[in-house]
Structure 1
Amino acid sequence: MAESPLGWWRRQGLRFRLTVAAAAVLALALALSASVLLNVLDRALIDTVDDTTRQQAQTVRVQADAGTLTSPISTHDGTIVQVIDASGRITHVTYGTDRLVPLLDARARERVLAQGRATFLDGRPYAIPGPLRVMVLRADRGQTVVAARPVGEIQTSLAVAGRVLFTGTPVLIVLLAVASWIMIGRTLRPITALRTGAAEITHTARSRRLPVPQSHDEVHALATTLNGMLARLEEAEQRQRALVSDAAHELRSPLASIRLQLEVALGHPEGQDWSETAEGVLEDTMRLSRLAEDLLALARLDERGGVPARREPVQLDEVVRQVTDRYAEARLTACEPVVVRGDALDLSRVLTNLMDNAARHTSSKVEVALTADGVLTVTDDGPGIPEQDRERVFNRFTRLDSGRSRDEGGAGLGLAIVRETVRAHGGTVCLEDAVPGLRAVVRLPVAR
Structure 2
Amino acid sequence: MSRWVRGPLPRLGLRARLLALGVLGLAVGFAFGGTLLVGALGWTLQRSVDEEALRTADAVALLTAEDALPDPLPDPLPVAGGQLRVQVVDVQGRIRAASIDADRLVPMLGPDELRPGQRQRLVVDGRRAGMPGPVRVVTVPAGTPQEPRTVLVAKSLTDVRHSLRVVRNLLLVGFPLLVAGLGVVAWRVVGATLRPVEQLRSGAAEITGRAGAERLPVPAGQDEIHRLAVTLNDMLDRLAASRDRQRAFVADAAHELRSPLTNMRTELEVARRLGDDTDWPAVADDLLADTERLSRLVDDLLLLARLDEQDARPAPVGPVELGELVRAVAARYPSPPLRLTLPDGPLWVEGDAGELRRVLVNLVDNALRHARTGVELAVSGPDGAYHLVTVTDDGPGVPAADRERVFARFTRLDDARARDAGGAGLGLAIVRELVRRAGGAVELADATPGAAAPGLRATVRLPALAEPDPE
Q: Give the superposition deviation at 1:184.
A: 2.7
The alignment's TM-score, normalised by the length of structure 1, stands at 0.83
Instruction: Find the partner of 2:457 among 425, 434, 438.
Output: 438
Q: Distance in 2 between matches of 1:217 and 1:332?
A: 59
Q: Which amino acid aligns with 1:171?
A: L
Matched, 1:157 2:163: yes
Structure 1 residue runs without a partner (length 5+)? none
Aligned positions of 1:239-250 closer than 5 A: 239-250=245-256
Q: In angstroms, what is the RMSD of aligned CA positions?
A: 3.8
Hey, what does 1:316 align to over in structure 2? Answer: 320
Q: Aligned partner of 1:365: which letter?
A: E
**Which residue number corresponds to residue 367 of structure 1?**
378
Aligned position for 1:131: 134
CA gap of 1:124–1:300, structure 2 versus 1, over 3 A, is same
Q: Deviations over 1:188-223 (max 9, x none)?
A: 322222222222223651532222222333332332
Deviations along 1:383-423, whole A, 9 cap, x unmatched?
A: 45454433222211223356899984322212212323444
Quote the residue 1:168 is aligned against: 174
Q: 1:409 aligns with which of 422, 428, 434?
A: 422
Match status 1:49 vs 2:52: no
Amino-acid identity (%): 40
Q: Cα offset for 1:147? A: 1.7
1:421-436 matches, within 5 Å, as 421-423=434-436, 425=437, 427-431=439-443, 433=445, 435-436=447-448
1:378 aligns with 389
Alignment-mate amino acid for residue 140 of structure 1: G
Q: Could you tell me how far 1:118 is from its partner in structure 2?
A: 2.1
- Measured in 2, the distance between the counterparts of 1:245 and 1:402 equals 22
8 Å CA contact retained: 1:98, 1:126: yes
Query: Aligned to 1:54, what secondary structure does the other structure show?
Result: helix
Question: SS of the counterpart of 1:208?
Answer: coil
Residue 292 of structure 1 and its aligned partner are, at CA, apart by 1.7
Query: What is the CA distance between 1:50 and its match in structure 2?
Result: 1.2
CA drift of 1:445 comes to 9.2
Q: 2:89 — aligned with what?
A: 84
- Which secondary structure does the structure 2 equivalent of 1:98 belong to? coil
Q: What is residue 402 of structure 2 aligned with on the other side?
A: 389
- Residue identity in the other structure for 1:440: T
Over 3 Å counting, the alpha-carbon distance change for 1:68 and 1:189 in structure 2 is: same
Range that drifts further, 311-320 or 246-255:
311-320
Secondary structure of 2:290 counterpart: helix
1:27 to partner: Cα distance: 1.9
Residue in structure 2 matched with residue 205 of structure 1 by the alignment: 211
Please name the residue that 1:356 is paired with: 365
Q: Secondary structure at the match of 1:367?
A: strand
Is 1:97 the counterpart of 2:110? The answer is no
Q: Distance in 1 between matches of 2:28 and 2:76?
A: 53
Contact 1:430–1:440 (CA under 8 A) maintained in structure 2: yes
Tell me if structure 1 keeps the 8 A contact 2:440–2:462.
yes
Deviation by residue 1:324-382 (Cα, 9 ceiling, x = unmatched):
36444445436444555xx6654543444334335545624212458699845321232
Change (3 A) 1:344 1:102: farther
How many Å separate the matches in 1 of 2:420 and 2:311?
28
Retained in 1: the 8 A contact 2:390–2:459? Answer: yes
Give deviations 1:54-78, integer Å, cap 9, x for gaps. 2222222222222233442223483
Contact 2:140/2:151 (<8 A) preserved: yes
Question: CA, structure 1 residues 178+204, in 2 after alignment: closer, same or farther (shift >3 Å)?
Answer: closer
Once the two structures are TM-superposed, the CA of residue 156 in structure 1 deviates from its matched residue by 0.8
TM-score by length of 2: 0.80
Structure 1 counterpart of 2:392, one-letter code: D
Normalized per residue, the structure richer in helix is 1
User: How do residues 249-288 of structure 1 correspond to structure 2 at under 5 angstroms?
Assistant: 249-268=255-274, 273-288=279-294
Q: Give a deviation string over 1:105-160, Cα, whole Å, max 9, x none.
A: 3442318x65x552212112332111111221112311222122111111011111
Instruction: Report deviation, 1:239.
Output: 0.4
User: Which secondary structure state, in structure 2, belongs to the residue aligned with residue 118 of structure 1?
Assistant: strand
Q: Quick check: 2:393–2:447 contact (8 Å CA) kept in 1?
A: no
Matched position secondary structure for 1:92: strand
Which ranges in structure 2 are unaligned for 5 or more consecutive residues? 449-455
CA distance in 1, matches of 2:290, 2:391: 27
User: 2: distance between equivalents of 1:278 and 1:409?
Assistant: 21
Aligned to 2:36: 36
Question: Residue 137 of structure 2 aligns to a residue in which SS?
Answer: strand
Q: Give the equivalent residue in structure 2 for 1:23.
A: 23
Instruction: State the partner residue of 2:79.
Output: 75
Q: CA–CA distance in 2 between the matches of 1:446 and 1:51?
A: 90
Q: Aligned partner of 1:139: which letter?
A: A
